[in-house]
């Protein structure tokens, strides 16, 4: 599912999340472990205000493990807890409760001092489309919850899902828009399957992917396309891949279109192994996330 975000949709999404915020103690912000910044919402902090949040780096099974560890350390420096999870396989689920308790420790102590009885922690999941919100809800609920939250015009009362005795989760996630301001973010979203290819030019996505692999994982690139020596310029590289794959047009020219599609498909299908496209080092120190 890909939502085309227009200002009206953004305002509505923001309103819906703001409404639900009042019901919960904590936000589970779901991002893609391969692109924690590019898959986050640019206005998240402004929208959730002071609400405590736990960052869940989902699809960690597809990210570069070392980079994910760097991200976790990066968030910790800012006083934020982030966990690597794989909602599809149910990995990292047990840590969610522990981390939530840690984040809400002070509030729970204050409640206790006021004589309030301890109650289950109320949480909601928020994130951009396709980041794995429904998968995570179903994992935590241990059953399939209908995806009505994503259908426009479908309104119904919020239901709480009990996750053990200590946690209650809203059954519909908050859906927010991804960042769009620069094309690089768009390429990263496309390469991880968060947005449809039709929204961007396939050649541009492939070019970005190729450049990334060329600088970060040259060995994997050479191996995958059987290239003995990597040329330094991208056009020659494109040409060599086309020839190596046998993608030649009737006019005996390299078929760039087919080659671009192949490169993008191979990246998505993890033919180059686990890749992380956002790294903490890309982040300017002054930017708060």
| 95/203 with CB nearer ligand G4P | 95
Side-chain-side CA neighbours of 57 within 13 Å: the count stands at 29
CA 213 to mean position of chain CA atoms: 20
Residue carrying structure tokens 């494109």: 238
| 100/130 with CB nearer ligand G4P | 130
Q: Using CA atoms, how far apart are residues 184 and 209, in angstroms rounded to an integer?
A: 10
> Strand pairing partners for 168?
122, 162
Helices 202-216, 256-268: crossing angle, 10 deg rounding:
60
Q: How far is the CB of 36 from ligand G4P (least distance, A)?
A: 14
| 192/259 with CB nearer ligand G4P | 192
Q: How far is the CB of 89 from ligand G4P (least distance, A)?
A: 7
Q: How far is the CB of 263 from ligand G4P (least distance, A)?
A: 20
Answer left, alpha or beta for residue 164, where phi above 0 means left and psi between -120 and 50 means alpha.
left
| 29/240 with CB nearer ligand G4P | 29
The residue ranges that bind ligand G4P (CB under 6 A) are 58-59, 61-62, 86-88, 127, 129-135
Q: How far is the CB of 178 from ligand G4P (least distance, A)?
A: 11
Reading the block at residue 157, the tokens are: 């009362």
């Amino acid at each position: 599912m890909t939502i085309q975000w227009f200002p009206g949709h953004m305002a509505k999404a923001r309103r819906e999340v703001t409404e639900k915020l009042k019901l919960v103690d904590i936000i589970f912000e779901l991002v893609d472990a391969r692109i924690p910044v590019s898959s986050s919402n640019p206005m998240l902090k402004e929208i959730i205000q002071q609400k405590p949040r736990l960052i869940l780096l989902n699809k960690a099974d597809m990210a570069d493990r070392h980079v994910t560890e760097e991200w976790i350390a990066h968030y910790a420096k800012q006083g934020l807890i982030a966990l690597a999870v794989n909602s599809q396989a149910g990995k990292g689920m047990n840590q969610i409760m522990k981390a939530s308790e840690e984040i809400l420790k002070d509030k729970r102590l204050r409640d206790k001092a006021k004589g309030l009885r301890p109650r289950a922690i109320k949480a909601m999941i928020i994130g951009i489309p396709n980041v794995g919100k429904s998968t995570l809800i179903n994992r935590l609920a241990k059953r399939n919850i209908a995806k009505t939250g994503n259908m426009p015009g479908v309104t119904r009362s919020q239901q709480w899902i009990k996750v053990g005795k200590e946690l209650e989760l809203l059954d519909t996630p908050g859906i927010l828009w991804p960042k769009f301001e620069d094309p690089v973010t768009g390429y990263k979203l496309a390469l991880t399957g968060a947005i449809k290819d039709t929204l961007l030019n396939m050649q541009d996505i492939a070019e970005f992917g190729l450049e990334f692999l060329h600088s970060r994982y040259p060995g994997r690139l050479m191996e995958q396309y059987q290239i003995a020596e990597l040329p330094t310029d991208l056009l020659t590289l494109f040409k060599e891949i086309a020839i190596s794959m046998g993608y030649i047009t009737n006019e005996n020219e390299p078929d760039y279109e087919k080659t671009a599609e192949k490169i993008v498909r191979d990246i998505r299908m993890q033919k180059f192994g686990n890749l992380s496209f956002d790294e903490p080092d890309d982040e300017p120190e002054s930017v708060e996330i």
